Amino acid sequence: MTAGPPMKGPRLSPPCSGWTADLPRPDVVQRSAPDLDIGRINHLDHVYLEIPRPGVKKGILLWFGLLAAFSPVYVGSYVVAGWQDLSVLNILSFAALILPVSIWAFFLFMKMELCLPNEEPIRFNLARQRVYAYNCRYRWWNPFERWHIVSVAYDWSQVRAECWNKRAITAQGALIMKWGVVLSIVEPGTNKVIDRFPLSTMGADEFAWAYICTYMQRGPLACSPANLRRDQNDVPWYNVSMRLAPKVKWPADMDLESRTAP
């Protein structure tokens, strides 16, 4: 089956946030040449393909967390130095504002550094025609709730891909653009979405989706060679945040199923 002309509007219900285009279905010949331009892959053979989905950049947020922890002391020193020019009410109002923000920022940055895995891999099992995703579910703005891993598995025939693009204006007036591809899971025989998770951000595009579809249709010999990376749990000794982050640990039954043929 060949891919028809792209539709003008979203095919799925509901479309992903920031939707710009639906990519070809997983069972058709892809319009684009297969090219996994999202970095190195974790595994590739005649049974399954595993690609990494990098998470938060580890190491940088640790310093922001420490800065947030000490900011009340740093800023408070200026307040104390000029306390004679401020009323008690003003000082208390300042403390009531800066302390909660600092506590929230400290816990947020530290939790993102130490509680999120270094990556969230996704496996495409050619032999079983199944996809397995290692997803971390959390709301980034709430560091006080439990963040957890939800590993899911679906039939390949249920997978669809959508491109998205988002723009935002910062407080300084700068324009920030983000884009990527999200994998949407539909109920069998319908376009109703029952789950979504990212393929990648700021990198994966129609060429990466074409690579995955080509692999799932015709196997690894139909795909261009890819560079295998080291084990995602083998991290540099000098990166404290990456070493303290949770290791990628699939549920035992899903791990075995996703790496083997029926």
The whole-number pLDDT of residue 41 equals 83
Q: Mean pLDDT score of the chain, rounded to an integer?
A: 79
- Which is higher by pLDDT, 255 or 225? 255
The whole-number pLDDT of residue 170 equals 47
pLDDT in tens, 81-101: 555 555 555 555 665 667 777
Q: Are 123 and 131 in contact (CB under 8 A)?
A: yes
Residue 194: in which H helix or E strand, if any?
A: strand 193-201
The whole-number pLDDT of residue 6 equals 53
DSSP 204-228: --HHHHHHHHHHHHH-GGGS---PB
Return the half-sphere exposure (C-beta side, CA atoms, 13 A cut-off) of residue 14: 3
Residue 198: in which H helix or E strand, if any?
A: strand 193-201
pLDDT in tens, 23-69: 999 998 877 767 665 556 888 999 999 988 866 666 666 666 667 66
Map out the domains of the chain as residue ranges: 19-55+116-226, 60-114
Spatial separation of the C-alpha atoms in residues 195 and 180, rounded to whole Å: 17
pLDDT in tens, 144-202: 888 889 999 999 999 999 999 887 554 445 566 778 899 999 999 999 999 999 987 65
